[in-house]
Structure 1
Amino acid sequence: MAVNSNITKTDASSHENGKDWATKNGGSVPQSSCRLTGGNDKNAVTLLNDNALACPTFHESVSRKRFEAYVNGLIEPHYWKGILYPGLYFKPQVFVDLQNYPFQPDDIVIATYPKSGTTWTAEIVSLLMHQADESYAKSLDISERVTHLEAPPGLSVKNLNSIQKPRIFQTHFQHTYLPPAIMNSRCKIIYVLRNPKDVAVSFFHHHRMAKDLGNFDKDFKHFLSLFLEGRVVCGSWFNHVKTYWKRRDDSNLLIVRYEDMKNNLSQTLMNISKFLGISLSDAQIMEVNNLCTFDKMKENERVNRNWVPSFDTTKSTFIRKGIIGDWKNHFSQEDDHIFDAIYQLKMKEISDLKFIYE
C-alpha cells in the first residue's frame, strides 16, 4: 500500500496500535462483534458484525482470536463501509470528505487491490501524460505526481485542489465505494488486475515490512487464511475484483493485467495511451518502456519508497520481485488446493475471468 511523501516523515512508533487506540476511544478491542470505536464521523467507523465476517470456505475456520490479533497490530484501525483500514495514513475524516469532493472529467484514477501493480501503473501513467519526460519524473517522488485518494497531501481532501493538472489519482477503493463525483464525472479509470496467488504473497511481505500493518510476524499460511477470508486491510480481493470486472464494458474503464505488463509492456503502454487519448511517438513509447522495467523501478529512489520511515526494509522491500509465479515459493500443495477451491466458490459468477499464474 502506497503512502504520500508529504506525510511519510511521521514516526509510526508514536501512534497507537489497534488495542491501545480502541481502548482509548471507548472500549475493548474487537470482541464478538469485531467493533472498533472512535473517529470523527460515525459513518466512517462502522460495525462489521458476525454475519459480515462469516465466510464459507473449505479452509479451517479462522479463529476470532487470530483476527483480533491481526487488528491489534494495526495502527489506529477503522472501518469504512465494512472494510478495514489502518489509520496512520488513511484517516476516517478523509474518507468522509471524499464523498463530497468535486472530481473533474479530466481526472485520471488508477484503481487496484493492494500489491497488484499500483506503483508500476502510476509511474507509467505519469510518464505517458508528460510525454515520456524523464526529467519531470526524476524531479518529484511518485506520490507527488500521483496522489493517493485515501492519503491526500497533508491528510486533507481540500489539498487536492492545489494539485496541478492533469491530476492523476490512485486508490484501493472497490468500484462500489468510489467517491460519487468520480462516478458522475465519468473521469477515466484504469483498473489493474494481478493473479491472486501472487497478490497474496506480495501482500504478506508488505505486511512484514509495514509498521502501520503491524510488521506481521506470523508465517505465510497464517496470513493466507486471513487473506482468503477477506479479513485483511482493504477487504476481500474477491469482492474487490468483482466490483470492477462487472463494469468492464464501461467506456470510461480500462482493465489492465499485471501479467500482460510483464509479458508485453509496450503493448500495454499503447493500450493505456489510446484509452487516455495520448498521442506518443514510437520513440516515446520505447522510452517509457525502458524507464518502467522492473530493474529500473527498483533502483529509482523516486519510486521504490525505500526512504519511507514506516517501512522496515530489513524485512522486505516495497518493490520486491515483481515476477509471475512467486506464489510457488510460498504455497504448499495443500494451500494451492484450498486456494483453488475457494476461488471457484467465490468467483463462480464470473467464470470468464482467467489469470496467468506462471
Structure 2
Amino acid sequence: MADIKEETDEKPDFQLKRVAYKGVAMFECEIDEIEKMETREDDIWVCSFSRSGTTMTQELTYLVQTLDFETANRVYLDDRFPILEVKDDRFPYYRGVTFAEQMKSPRMIKSHLHHSMLPVQLQKGKGRIIYIARNPKDIATSFYRLMKWTGGLNESDNTFEKFVDAFVNGTGHNCPWPRHVLEFWERRNDKNVLFLKYEEVVRDKPKAVRRIADFLGRTLTDDDVAKICDYCSVDKMKNNPMCNMSYWRDYKKVYDNADGGFINQGKAGAWKSLLTPEIAKKIEKLLDEIQGSGLTFDDE
C-alpha cells in the first residue's frame, strides 16, 4: 500500500494528540473523568476496537432505537451518537465527558476504550453495551486507510509495514487487539452486553437488526427492518455526509488521493486483495493469541 505525500486542500494539517494510558496508545482525553462518570440504566453504548464496523453499528442501533430516519438524514452521527474519549476543540463534535453528561436519555455513546477503561458503573452493568468485533486482517487494512486519509500517521507507523508491526506487537492505537476483544468477549453473557461479529452482521443484516432490537427491547415490523438495512447499506453510508465524516474537510487537511477514506469497502474479507501472504501471516499471530477463548473469526 502506497504512502502519502500529496495534499488535497489548504486547510491546516494537524493530528489528534496521542498518549499512553495503562499501556494502551490512545488519543488524549479525559480518561480519569470517564472512569468515574455516572452512567444511566437506559444508556446505549456501542463499543469496538477501531475500524470494526462501529459506524454501521451505531447507525443500525440509532434507527432500531428511534426509527427516526428524518433526524438521521439531517443530524451528524457524531452529534446523535458522540464518541466519548476524544476531546479536541478544533473539531465541533469531539466534546468529551461534559457533552455526554448533558445528553437527554436514552443516551447513545460510542467508545473504542477497552472494557476495563469504561466508566466503572457501566462495567458493573449500569447501561447497555453493544460490542462489534472484526477479523484483525480487515481491521489493519481499514485502519491504515483511515489514518492515511486523515493524515494521522507519524514516524512510527507511516508505512503499512510499520503500521502492521505496531498493530501486531501491541503498541499501535487502541492495542493490544487481543486484550480489547477478549475483555468484552468474557462479558458476552452479561445481560447488559450484546456481542456482535462484523462478518455475521454484513452477511445477514436483517438478523443483526433483529438481535439489536431484541437486546434493546424494541419491536420492529419487517418493513422497519428492511428500511433500516437499506439505509445502512455500504453504498448509501459511504455517500451520506451525516455519517461518512466528510465534514472533516471543513476543519483540517485530508488526503482524498491517498487510497483511503472513512468508509471503504464495507465487506468482510477485503484483506484478501490487499495483504501480502507475509503480512497476513504476521497478523495471524493476533488470532493465535485468542485461541482457546471460544472466539473465532471467519476468514471470508
Task: Please indicate the TM-score interval, normalised by the length of the shorter structure.
Answer: 0.7 to 0.9
Equivalence map 1:271-286=2 (5 Å): 271-286=211-226
| Matched positions, count | 281
Per-residue deviation, residues 281-321 of structure 1 (Å, max 9, x unmatched) = 11111110110111111111101112213443222210011
1:330 aligns with 2:270: no
Change beyond 3 A, Cα 1:293–1:75: closer
Residues 17-28 of structure 1 aligned to structure 2 (within 5 Å) = none
1:164 CA displacement? 2.5
Where in structure 2 are there 5+ consecutive unaligned residues? Answer: 1-10, 88-92
% identical aligned pairs: 27
Structure 1: runs of 5 or more not aligned: 1-10, 16-73
| Structure 1 residue 357, shift from structure 2 partner | 1.8
How far apart, in 2, do the equivalents of 1:215 and 1:254 lie? 37
The answer to whether 1:80 aligns with 2:21 is yes
Instruction: For residue 337 of structure 1, report the CA deviation from its aligned partner.
Output: 2.8
Tell me how far 1:177 sits from its aligned partner.
1.5
- With over 3 angstroms needed to count, the CA separation of the structure-2 counterparts of 1:319 and 1:347, relative to structure 1, is same
In the alignment, residue 99 of structure 2 is paired with which amino acid?
Answer: N
Larger Rg: 1
289 and 216 in structure 1: CA distance in 2 versus 1, 3 angstrom threshold: farther
Residue 297 of structure 2 is matched in structure 1 by 355
The CA distance in 1 between the partners of 2:216 and 2:175, in whole Å, is 29
Structure 1 pair 75–126 and aligned structure 2 pair: CA distance change class (3 A):
closer
Query: Map of 1:234-245 to 2, 5 A cutoff?
Result: 234-245=174-185
Q: 2:134 maps to what in 1?
A: 194
CA shift at 1:234, angstroms?
1.0
Deviation at 1:342, TM superposition (A): 4.9
Whether the 8 Å CA contact 1:208–1:217 is kept in 2: the answer is no
CA RMSD of aligned residues (A): 2.0
Q: Which amino acid aligns with 1:103?
A: T
Q: Tell which has more relative contact order, 1 or 2 (C-alpha 8 A, sep 6+).
A: 2
Shift of 1:334: 2.2
Deviates more, 1:287-296 or 1:160-169: 160-169
CA contact (8 A) 1:172 1:234 kept: yes
Contact 1:112 1:193 in 2 (8 A): yes
Distance in 2 (CA, whole Å) between partners of 1:175 and 1:12 is 34
TM-score by length of 2: 0.87
Change (3 A) 1:154 1:119: closer
TM-score by length of 1: 0.73
Paired position in structure 2 for 1:289: 229
Deviation at 1:335, TM superposition (A): 2.3
